Amino acid sequence: MGIVAGIDSSGAGTTVVVCDTDSGQVLRQGYAPHPVEGDGRQGPQTEIDPQAWLLSLGEAAKDGMLEGVQAIGVSGQQHGMLPMDAGGVLVRPALMWNDKRAQIQAADLTEELGGPGGWAEAVGAVPQAAYPVAKLRWLAQHEPRSAQRTAEVLLPHDWLVWQLMGRPQRRTTDRGDASGTGYWSAATGQYRTDLVELALGHQVALPDVLRPAEPAGQTPEGLLISAGTGDNMAAALGLGVGPGDAVVSLGAGGTVFAVHHEALTDPTGTITSFADATGRHLPMVHTRNAVRALRGTADLLGTDLAGLSDLAVKSTPGSHGLVLLPYLEGERTPDLPHTAGTLAGLRRESMKPEHLARASFEGMLCGLADGLDVLRGRGVEVRRIFVLGPAGELPALQQMAPALLGARIVIPQPADYAALGAARQAAWSLGAVMGSGSAEHPPRWQGAALQQIEPGEDDLPIGQAVRQQYASVRDQIHPGAFPGSG
């Protein structure tokens, strides 16, 4: 049918992939970092002039990268907030997801709606410092003049789509990215404008929420622009995950989410009820500590992640009784924001580098398995688990994960799945508009090359024993902190 492009504007730079609309084969790819003023450093910023995104997009798409493209999809980093005045001019630089200044405001907003349960019922998510709703309260309190000028709020992908279309009168977003604002409900499909007013002190214009295959419009040159979405939703679309699939993303912290047929309301706030880019839902659980625990242990042992993995495979399941609760930066699942990590089970025979190395992997994986259990406990089916991040390639993780996570493990080949998901959405929207594809289902693209690891016959009982050892320590040190424990 033709070719489409996917754009992923991340915290550090812009990736462009150009794909065949029928197969999803990547034909061309480009990348450029966001330019940064000042000391010349490059990398994720807590606030940024979004013109930098356009500059890096132009660089990534140079030399005919978009030649012959019929449609473009955009993936943007979630939770960024762009306050604009009535004329569409930014009143200040964009505040990004990693800006933590609104922690107090997030806590205040939570209390003002009666606690986590009130927010979970309203929008499926309890305010966090990252969310636009908390940033709006911060703006009202710390930059009142900017707050008073704010007449409209966009997310990063919304703004990029608007720019690509020549800044039309209509602003748009999609249900996936809207579900990360703190003022749009995945369960009802509606904005809670009263929560915007609660945060900012007055109403603002918000973008129209498009259906999954509904296009946002066209560029001045006539290229179709799809709805776009947030980066997590785009990555899920790029991976091709569906019902029965979960994703574990391993960064410094961990993210666990799964495809589900309905929004989940969780009065404790452990589950965040995101929407996906296909019309389904992505209930998500976060941990503050994942690879952070591995790197900390590696530093302690004077090695790197590869060396830590080599050490860990020399030990045996259960790490000779060593248990690491990896709550090094406090923890979100379970809700222990001010705690510290714990190393338990020290005996003379267990005080060896290989046992500590394995305990760090087991502690990280048990913490993620706790997150999966929260989802499973709400009826989310998990038959296979995609593991994202470079740590997924470590032999120790691949050896332990099937037993501890309790399912088939899938290690996709490295790729920018958010950009691929944006391209797939563009192909979906193009097919729906041209009548050559379904408006209900995205195109069936050839999946990424996968390494799949099935649990062995003895793996699950062994994994359960290790998890029980971990849970015993967790519940003794933090009784009642985890649902159903204590």
- Residue positions annotated with a catalytic role: 231
Unique residue bearing structure tokens 């009130």 = 118
Amino acid at site 443:
P
CA separation (Å) from 243 to 4, 277, 283? 26, 14, 12
Are 280 and 323 a contacting pair, CB within 8 Å? no
Rounded (5°) CA angle 465-348-314: 55
Are 72 and 17 a contacting pair, CB within 8 Å? no
Helix axes of 305-312 and 291-301: crossing angle, nearest 10 degrees? 80
**Across the strands, what pairs with 283?**
273
Give the HSE-up count for residue 375: Cα atoms under 13 Å, Cβ half-sphere: 34
**Across the strands, what pairs with 209?**
173
Rounded (5°) CA angle 270-276-279: 125
Are 31 and 17 a contacting pair, CB within 8 Å? no
Are 81 and 136 a contacting pair, CB within 8 Å? yes
Are 140 and 172 a contacting pair, CB within 8 Å? no
Tokens for 103?
């922690």
Instruction: Give which of 227, 173, 160, 215 is closest to 431, Cα–Cα.
Output: 215
Q: Which H helix or E strand runs over 18?
A: strand 13-20
Pairing of strands 3-9, 69-76: parallel
What are the DSSP calls for 328-380, one per residue?
Answer: BTBBTTTTBTT---EEE---GGG-SHHHHHHHHHHHHHHHHHHHHHHHHTTT-
Are 312 and 320 a contacting pair, CB within 8 Å? no
- C-alpha–C-alpha distance, residues 6 and 29, integer Å: 10
Instruction: Give which of 210, 216, 122, 211 is closest to 163, Cα–Cα.
Output: 216
Residue 42: CB atoms within 10 A of its CB come to 12
DSSP-derived secondary structure letter, 88 = S
